[in-house]
Amino acid sequence: MSMLNRKLWKYHGGLHLEDHKSFSNGHESTTLPLPNRLTIPMQQHIGEAAHPIVKVGDRVLKGEMIAEATGRVSAPIHAPTSGTITEIAPLPMPHPSGLDVLSIVLESDGEEQWCALSPTDNYRHATTEELRDKIREAGIVGLGGAGFPSYIKLDPGQHFAIETLILNGAECEPYITCDDRLMRERPHAILDGARIMRHALHANRCIIAIEDNKREAFDVLNSMQSQSGQNDIELVLVPTLYPSGGERQLIKVLTGKEVPSQGRTLDIGIICHNVATAATVADAVIDGIPLISRMVTVTGESISAPQNIRAPIGAPIAELLEFAGRNSGADTQLIMGGPMMGISITDDSLPVIKTSNCLLLQPKLLPKPESPCIRCGECDRVCPAELLPQQLFWHSRAKELEKVQDYNLFDCIECGCCSFVCPSNIPLVHYYRFAKTEVWAQEREKEASNIARKRHEFRLERQEKAEQEKQERMRKKKAALKDKENGKDDAAKKAAIQAAMDRAKAKREANQAQGETNVAEPTPATPDAESESKSES
Amino acid sequence: MKQLISSPYSHGDSSLQQVMMQVVLALIPAFGIHFWLFGWGIITNAILAIIFCLGFEAIIMWLRKRPISNTLFDGSALVTALLLAITIPPLSSWWLILIGSLVAIVFAKQLYGGLGFNPFNPAMVGFVVLLISFPKQMTQWVTPISLGEHISLSGSLQVVFGGGLDALSSATPLDALKTGVGMGQSIESVMATSPIFGQLSGIGWEWVNLAILTGGLWMLWRKTIRWQVPVAMLCSLAAIATLFYLIDPSRYADPLFHIFSGGALLGAFFIATDPVSGATSPRGRIVFGIGVGLLTYIIRNWGGYPDGVAFSILLMNMAAPMIDYYTQPKAFGQKGQRD
C-alpha cells in the first residue's frame, strides 16, 4: 500500500543540503575482493564489548561466532570468512575517542568455508522469543550508524504495545547511498525483514519511509510489493530535508507525534529500525546468516569511481579506498559516515565495522576562521530539537554545566545544522560534545565522591557506634561494680545496725534476766547478721 | 596543519562579514536620500565616523594583542560607524563624532570584550552619551535643502572643522511638536504653523525614513534580520499611539507620525535588531520589541527628550538576559511535559 498523498507533518528547522548522492547511487554495488587480514574490534556497538571465545591459532569457519555478547546491551561477533586467528589484542578502531579496543585478527584462508547455518523454515510460526534470540545470536546492530543491538528494540517488554514499526530509509545525510542501493538491489530482503520484525513486535502497522530524492528505490520497493500481492507495508515518500533520517524527526514527519524528551520511541508505541538492519534480519532469520558484511558507500571528490561496496566486517578501510580508486593529488581528509555527523579518520588501516555506512574522501577542508558569536539566531532557526544553540554555546564555553542542562543540552542530537549555518564559523557541536562529556564526568565524579562520602560517613558512624557501645559497656560495668559495693555497704550497715540492736536487746534481756537470775549468757548475734547480709547480696 | 576535528565537516556559505555587509547595503538608500535632501552633512559624518571607529577598534585590538585585521574587517565597527553617523546631526563638528566613536567602540564595545560581549548597542551608547553631554550640538539639525540653501562641499568641511551652523539649523518635527504641545498648542496648529511638517512626519525626514523602511524590508527579505523585533516594536508603538490619539487627537500625534518620525524605523530595523545586545529567543525578541515600542512612546510623550528610541533600546538591552531566561522555548518532545 503506497500512499503518495498521505498526510505528513513538519518538524522545526532542518536544512536543504546539496545531497551529492549522484556520485555513487547510479552504479550497481560491487563486492570487495576478500582481504587477507581482517581486524575485528569487540566493540562495534553501543553497550558492553563482546568477549572473545576463540584463541590465537584457532581455525574458524565463515559465520562462526568468535566473540560472545556480555550482558543485555551487547552483541556477539562472527567470523566474516574462514581462516586462522592470529592475534587477539587491543588495536585501534574507527571511533572518535581514538582509543584501542580489544580486537581479533583473522588471517583468511581464501576458502570462504561456511559453518553450519540454521535457517528458519517459516518465521510466521516462530515466537517472538525465538526470533529475538535468532537476531541477537546473529550479532545484528543498527546499521544506520548508532549500532544499538537490534534485538532489544524487538523486545519492548509486556508494558509496551507497539502500534507502528517504522523502517528508516530516509538516508538524509549527503553523499551516503548504501541504503538507497540496498533498497534497489535487495527489496525482497528489506520487505521480508520488515515482516519478520513486525511479526516479532505484533505491530499493527509497518511503514517504510524514504526521502523523495530516492524515487527509484521507492518505485522498486513499490513494484516488488505489488508483485508479491501483499499490501501490508506502507511505503511513504517524505520530503528531503536534513535531518529527517533522525529517528525522532522521522517519527514526527510520519505520525505528528513527538518522542518525549529523554524518553524512548516505544513510549509512544513506535519502534524504528534502519532498512539495512531489516535486510540483515531477513538474512539471519530466513537463511541463518549472521551479520558479517555490510554495504559501504565509498565516495567523495577524491574518489575516482564512487560506488557502494559490500565489504566484510574488519576489512581495512584502505582496501575499499583503493578498490574505488583514490584521485592523486591534493591532501585529503577521510570521514567515516556523512559530512554532517561522521567521524574523522586519520589512519586508513583501520577496519570497516558494523556501523561504517560511508567512507568519504575529500580534499582537506581548512576550517574558516572562527569569529565571536553575535547571537544572530540562525542556529535556533534550523535546530530540529528546538533548542537555543547560541545559549548552549554561551554556557558551554563558560562551563556552566547546570545552565547548559537548563537549556536542554541532552536533547541535542548533534546533527550539525547549527554549525553549518553559523556565520561566525563556530564549531558549535564540538562545544556541546565537550559540555556533555563534562557533565558526564562531573556526574561520575559526584557519584564516586558520593560513594566515598557515604563510606566515610558509614565508617564514622560505625566507629562512633562502637565507641558508644564500648562506653555503654564500661558504664554498665562500672555501675554494676558500684552497685555491688554499695549493696555490700548497705547490707553490712544494716547487719551492723541489726547486730547492735540485737546486742542491745540481748543486753536488756540479760539485764532483766540478771535481775531475776544473774546467770544468763548474752546471745551471739553475728551469725544471724552474717546470713542476712549474704542473702541480700 | 589545522583541520576540522569534529563534525560537521561542511559549512554553508554564510559569514559574519556577509551579514554585516548586508546591513551596510540596507543603509545605503537612507544615506542616499539623506544626502539628496540635506546635503553633504551625512557624508562628512559617515566618513569621520568610519575613520574614528575603525581607528579605535584597531588601537584597542593592538592593545589587547589580538589579530587586528580579522576584527577590523568583520564589518561590525563599520555598521556601528554608519549607525552613529546617521543619528548625529549632519555637519556635526569632527570632535563630536570623535567622542561618539570613542564611547561607542572603546567603552561600549571593546571594554566589555569586543563583538559578541557588549550588553548595550555601541552606536546607541555613543549617541546617548553625546545627547546628554552636548545637548546643544546634538539638537542642531540641518534644515532640509528644500527649506534652506544648499551648502557646498567646501562649505560643509568648513562647518565640520570650523564651527557655526546656527543659521542653517532647525528643530526636528518631534522636537517642534513637543515644544508646541508643551506650550499648550494643539497638534493641528503646531503642524499648520511650522514649515517643517510634511505628509507623514517632517519634510525630508519622511523620505529618509521611507528609505530606512525599504532597507529594513530588504533585510527581512534577505533574512539578515528576523521579523519579531521590528514587527513587535512598530506594532506596539502604533497601538499605544492609536490609543492615545483616539483619546485626544489634539494632544497626541497620530500613529503614522510616530512611526515615521525620529528614530522609530531606524531603531526597529537596524538597532533593536542588533542580536548581540537584544533578546535572542524567538519569543524573547517579541517581548523585547514590544518593550522598545512602548518605552519609546512613553519617553516621547512624558519624558524629557523629544525622541526615546535610543533610551528605550538601551533600557531593553538591560532586560534582555532576563527576557531570554523567561522565554526559553520548549525543546522537541517537551511540549506535553511540565517544566
The stretches of A206-339 forming alpha helices (DSSP H) are 215-228, 247-255, 275-282, 317-324
| pLDDT at B164 > cutoff 80 | no
| pLDDT at B203 > cutoff 70 | yes
What is the structure's pLDDT at A140? 95
Percent of chain B having pLDDT more than 90?
56
What is the structure's pLDDT at A487? 65
- For the sheet with A270-274, list strands across it: A234-238, A205-211, A164-169, A270-274
Q: Could you tell me if A260 lies within 8 Å of chain B, comparing CB atoms?
A: yes
Percent of chain A having pLDDT more than 70?
93
Q: Do B7 and A384 touch (CB under 8 A)?
A: no
Distances (CA, A) of B199 to B195, B202, B203, B265, B330: 12, 7, 7, 16, 46
In A231-364, at which residue ranges do the beta strands (DSSP E only) sit? 234-238, 270-274, 293-299, 307-312, 332-336, 343-345, 358-363
What per-residue string of b and e applies to A299-308 under the rule 16 or more CB within 10 Å gives b? bbebbeebbb
CA distance A128 to chain B (A): 30
Give me the mean pLDDT over the B30-57 stretch: 92
| pLDDT at B188 > cutoff 90 | no
Average model confidence (pLDDT) across chain A: 88
What is the structure's pLDDT at A522? 47
**Cell numbers that stand for B63 in this block:** 592593545
In angstroms, the CA B157 to CA A126 distance is 94
Q: Do B3 and A366 touch (CB under 8 A)?
A: yes
Q: Do A429 and B7 touch (CB under 8 A)?
A: yes
pLDDT band for position B304 (cuts 50, 70, 90): confident
DSSP A96: T
What is the structure's pLDDT at B190? 75
Tell me which of B232 and A486 has the higher pLDDT.
B232
DSSP lists the bridge partners of residue B159 as none
Within 8 A of A258 by CB-CB distance, chain B residues are: 332-333, 335-336
Compare CB distances from B10 to A259, A381, A420 and report the shortest one's residue: A420
The stretches of B149-307 forming alpha helices (DSSP H) are 153-161, 173-182, 187-193, 205-221, 228-247, 255-259, 264-266, 282-302
In angstroms, the CA A369 to CA A394 distance is 18
| pLDDT at B335 > cutoff 90 | no
pLDDT band for position B337 (cuts 50, 70, 90): low
Contact B258, B237 (CB under 8 A): yes
For A18, name the nearest residue in chain B, comparing CA atoms only: B12
What is the structure's pLDDT at B179? 78
Task: Tell me the Cα Rg of chain A.
Answer: 40
What is the structure's pLDDT at A530? 44
Among A211-215, A220-224, A507-511, whose mean pLDDT is lowest?
A507-511
pLDDT band for position A12 (cuts 50, 70, 90): very high
DSSP lists the bridge partners of residue A154 as none
Q: Do B7 and A339 touch (CB under 8 A)?
A: yes
pLDDT band for position B145 (cuts 50, 70, 90): low
What is the secondary structure of B55-119 as a DSSP string?
A: HHHHHHHHHTT--HHHHHTSSHHHHHHHHHHHHSPTT--HHHHHHHHIIIIIIIIGGGTSTTT-S
Percent of chain B having pLDDT more than 70?
91
What is the structure's pLDDT at A382? 95
Report the residue of B1, B3, B4 to disrupt the A interface, i.e. the one with the largest count of A CBs within 10 Å: B4
Q: Do A420 and B12 touch (CB under 8 A)?
A: yes
| pLDDT at B315 > cutoff 90 | yes
What is the structure's pLDDT at A485? 72
What is the structure's pLDDT at A128? 87
* Closest among A262, A264, A255 to A236, alpha carbons compared: A255
What is the structure's pLDDT at A364? 85
Q: Could you tell me if A250 lies within 8 Å of chain B, comparing CB atoms?
A: no
C-alpha distance across the termini of chain A, in Å = 102
C-alpha distance across the termini of chain B, in Å = 46
pLDDT tens figures, A238-252: 999 999 999 999 999
The alpha carbon of residue A236 and the mean position of all alpha carbons in its chain are separated, in whole angstroms, by 30
CA distance A259 to chain B (A): 5
| pLDDT at A280 > cutoff 70 | yes
What is the structure's pLDDT at B169? 62
What is the structure's pLDDT at A143? 92
pLDDT band for position A36 (cuts 50, 70, 90): very high
Give me the mean pLDDT over the B275-296 stretch: 95
The contacts of residue B282 (CB under 8 Å, 6+ apart) are A377, A380, B226, B228, B327, B329
pLDDT tens figures, A288-336: 999 999 999 999 999 999 999 999 999 999 999 999 999 887 789 999 9
Within 8 A of A96 by CB-CB distance, chain B residues are: 6
Q: Do A421 and B12 touch (CB under 8 A)?
A: yes
| pLDDT at A483 > cutoff 80 | no
Distances (CA, A) of A356 to A144, A181, A351, A427: 9, 15, 9, 24
Distances (CA, A) of A391 to A499, B192, B282: 98, 52, 12
- Assign A156 to helix, strand or coil: coil
Phi, psi of A282 (to 5 degrees): -60, -45
Percent of chain A having pLDDT more than 90?
65
| pLDDT at B125 > cutoff 60 | yes
Single-letter amino acid code for the residue at B24: V
What is the secondary structure of A10-58 as a DSSP string?
A: --S--B-----GGGTTTS--EEPPPPSEEEEES--SSSSPPEE---TT-
pLDDT tens figures, A127-178: 888 999 999 999 999 998 788 999 998 887 777 788 999 999 999 999 999 9
CA distance A462 to chain B (A): 42
Compare CB distances from A427 to B6, B76, B115 and report the shortest one's residue: B6
Q: Do A386 and B10 touch (CB under 8 A)?
A: no
The label of the residue with cell 553633504 reads: B40
User: Which residues 33-72 on chain A approach chain B with CB closer than 8 angstroms?
Assistant: none
Within 8 A of A416 by CB-CB distance, chain B residues are: 7-8
pLDDT tens figures, A389-402: 999 999 999 989 99
Give me the mean pLDDT over the B309-330 stretch: 94
Give me the mean pLDDT over the A374-395 stretch: 93
| pLDDT at B7 > cutoff 70 | yes
- Assign A85 to helix, strand or coil: strand
Tell me which of B92 and A428 has the higher pLDDT.
A428
| pLDDT at A442 > cutoff 80 | yes
Give me the mean pLDDT over the B313-319 stretch: 96
Predicted complex: ipTM over 0.95: no
pLDDT band for position A535 (cuts 50, 70, 90): very low
Q: Do B330 and A433 touch (CB under 8 A)?
A: no
For B116, name the nearest residue in chain A, comparing CA atoms only: A374
Contact A169, A209 (CB under 8 A): yes
| pLDDT at A509 > cutoff 50 | yes
| pLDDT at B81 > cutoff 90 | yes
What is the structure's pLDDT at A514? 62
pTM (predicted TM-score):
0.84
